[in-house]
Amino acid sequence: MLSTNEVRARAAEFAREWKDAGYERGQAQTFYIEFFDIFGVKSRRVASFEEPVKRLGDKRGFIDLLWKGTLIAEHKSAGKDLSKAKQQALDYFPSLKEAELPRYLLVCDFQNFELYDLDERTEVKFALADLPRHVEAFNFILGRKKVVFKDQDPVNIRASELVGALHDALERTGYRGHDLERFLVRLVFCLFADDTGIFQPSDILLDFLENRTKEDGSDTGPLLNLLFEVLNTDKPDRQSNLDDDLAQFDYVNGRLFAERLRAPSFDGKMRSQLIEACRFKWDAISPAIFGALFQSVMEPAERRRKGAHYTTELNILKLIRPLFLDALRQEFETIKARRGTDRAARLRAFHDKLAGLTFFDPACGCGNFLIITYRELRRLEIELLKELHPAGQRELDVSALSRLDVNQFYGIEIEEFSALIAETAMWMMDHIMNNELSLAFGQNYARIPLKKAAHILHADALEADWAAFLPPEKCSYVFGNPPFSGAKTQDDAQRAQVRRIANLGGSGGTLDDVAAW
């Protein structure tokens, strides 16, 4: 079975190939044959074309495509009224046997799709160009079930609740501290990997948890620890008799799974909580709020004491745009507008410049500033690559195109948990941007195993030697949002530290912590 990202890449290529199609006769069947091929499914194995059937009023008709019990499709030439096409398809239903009645109804005019779920009474409408963003609406072609949460909270809040429930359950059993924090970060990375194409095929973690762990949860912890060891071991170094369900997981590396942890003890309820979290659609999670998600499982008083905080994406953009992003984009637009013979050379030189930049947040927390900056730079790079290599050049090796990587980013963070989150969230954002690159060039690309990492130093930035961590001549930009920690909320050690750094002797007792920065 193809992964979600492979399907999206194929959908992007399909959209490019059919962007000019508009005439129904003679093209519709080819259109649907290639459409099913997006999902690696041969249409002739599941569906029939031009199925003869009676319509209402004893009229004879032909169903454009019928997958009995699953899908009926009515196709029209570009610009035709799709509401009439929908009614035409519905008119065929009285002539179908009960077992043949489809759940899904699709009408299309080459350039527009309307998909109706007749059981759930939902619909999705989109243009051909947007097919990669909506391709999961057709998961039924792959036999995948939709996971529907009735909870109307935003997706990130729901994810936080799922992780928080598991965190609290583990903590109540006495599994806490360093082991719990690292275990949760590993687990969320795996949940994310299972839905975004890092693990191949998709949902192998969910299948492993549902089918290989006991319902009472007694073996869940040890099996997860064994899985972590597998993810930390290159395939040539694995035992020859390794269980097949574990052997199919790729080597991840990246230091995330290197340390051995105590195996947590699960019960049946905790296993169910984990499986519920695994069913959640983690590909909708934004790594930019990954830190806030995990900080939400800490006690509010502990967050205040440690200065943990979350800077919104909007406020991060307010900082990085005028600091460097606007100037970089303007430079790119100027080069792109050139028509001289040196245009390609200037674009390559600009690419060199992007690849040579370094960014430093000395109070990085869970990495929000670094994550958003990386995302924006990768998006700029993708636009640049499109100028250097016109879309559709499938002969290109997409893995060799991107020159930006997470090791251009540096951060210092006093809390070990937050430092680990920052490093992991950067890998997650890297994978998301690799997916965007894949869509742009019609190929599937995952940077696994993880060979590079963001440089995140677990230390007190007010005591660490910044120059030893990142030499000034190699640092392009410094930014961030240090903890404010007002004077009245500081403990004695913080107050003494600020006085010493400010070199004010005994007169600096009312300085806020941020003054030390």
pLDDT attached to residue 303 = 44
pLDDT attached to residue 1 = 61
Q: pLDDT band at 395, cuts 50/70/90?
A: low
- For residues 322 and 416, membership in a common domain is answered with yes
Indicate whether 496 pLDDT > 80: yes
What does the alpha-carbon distance between residue 46 and residue 4 come to, in Å, rounded to a whole number?
21
Whether the CB-CB separation of 357 and 408 falls below 8 Å is answered with yes
- For residues 391 and 490, membership in a common domain is answered with no
Q: What is the mean pLDDT of residues 370-378?
A: 96
Indicate whether 310 pLDDT > 70: no
Indicate whether 150 pLDDT > 50: no
> pLDDT of 236-264, one tens digit each?
999 999 999 999 999 998 788 999 999 99
For 107, phi then psi, to 5°, come to: -120, 145
Indicate whether 100 pLDDT > 80: yes
User: 488-495: long-range contacts (C-beta < 8 A, 24 or more apart)?
Assistant: 489/304
What does the alpha-carbon distance between residue 319 and residue 359 come to, in Å, rounded to a whole number?
13
Total Cβ atoms within 10 A of residue 241:
7
| 48 beta partners | 66
- For residues 321 and 431, membership in a common domain is answered with yes
Q: With the CA atoms of 392, 396, 400 and 406 taken in that order, what torsion angle do they form, in degrees rounded to the nearest 10?
A: 10
Q: Find, among 411, 441, 434, the residue nearest to 423 by Cα.
A: 411
Q: Which residue reads 């089918």 in tokens?
A: 211
* Amino acid at position 104, single letter: Y
Instruction: Domain of residue 475: give its range.
Output: 309-483
Q: Find, among 246, 217, 216, 212, the residue nearest to 229 by Cα.
A: 246
Indicate whether 384 pLDDT > 70: yes
- For residues 406 and 474, membership in a common domain is answered with yes
pLDDT attached to residue 22 = 76
pLDDT attached to residue 210 = 95
| Residues whose CB falls within 8 Å of the CB of residue 104, separated by 6 or more in sequence, listed in order | 70, 71, 72, 115, 116, 117, 118, 140
Percent of the chain with pLDDT over 90: 50
The three-point CA angle 429-435-441 to 5° equals 140
> pLDDT of 327-347, one tens digit each?
999 999 999 998 889 999 999
Q: Is 327 exposed, middle or buried (0-12, 13-18, 19+ CB in 10 A)?
A: exposed
- For residues 344 and 469, membership in a common domain is answered with yes
pLDDT attached to residue 460 = 95
- For residues 222 and 236, membership in a common domain is answered with yes
| Residues whose CB falls within 8 Å of the CB of residue 381, separated by 6 or more in sequence, listed in order | 351, 354, 402, 403, 404
- For residues 314 and 408, membership in a common domain is answered with yes
- For residues 366 and 234, membership in a common domain is answered with no
- Please, what is the average pLDDT of the chain? 86
pLDDT attached to residue 266 = 96
- How many structural domains compose the chain? 4
What does the alpha-carbon distance between residue 163 and residue 273 come to, in Å, rounded to a whole number?
9
Q: pLDDT band at 183, cuts 50/70/90?
A: very high
- For residues 180 and 119, membership in a common domain is answered with no
Indicate whether 31 pLDDT > 70: yes
In a domain, 67, yes or no: yes
End-to-end CA distance of the chain: 52
In a domain, 329, yes or no: yes
In a domain, 213, yes or no: yes
> pLDDT of 414-436, one tens digit each?
988 889 889 999 999 999 999 88
Q: Residue 47 has what DSSP assignment? A: -
- For residues 232 and 358, membership in a common domain is answered with no
In a domain, 89, yes or no: yes
- Looking at 373-382, 487-496, 505-514, which range is the least confident one? 505-514
In a domain, 359, yes or no: yes
Q: What is the mean pLDDT of residues 477-496?
A: 86
| 143 beta partners | none
Indicate whether 35 pLDDT > 50: yes
For 427, phi then psi, to 5°, come to: -65, -40
pLDDT attached to residue 142 = 83
Indicate whether 478 pLDDT > 90: yes
Name the helix (H) or strand (E) containing 160: helix 155-172
What does the alpha-carbon distance between residue 431 and residue 205 come to, in Å, rounded to a whole number?
18
Q: pLDDT band at 381, cuts 50/70/90?
A: very high
Q: What is the mean pLDDT of residues 207-219?
A: 95
pLDDT attached to residue 153 = 36
Query: What is the CATH classification number for the domain harbouring 57?
Result: 3.90.1570
- For residues 411 and 328, membership in a common domain is answered with yes
H/E/C letters for each residue in 257-281?
A: CCCCCCCCCCCHHHHHHHHHHHHCC
What does the alpha-carbon distance between residue 458 and residue 269 come to, in Å, rounded to a whole number?
35
In a domain, 369, yes or no: yes
What does the alpha-carbon distance between residue 43 and residue 30 come to, in Å, rounded to a whole number?
10
- Looking at 71-75, 156-160, 341-345, 444-448, which range is the least confident one? 156-160
Indicate whether 5 pLDDT > 90: no
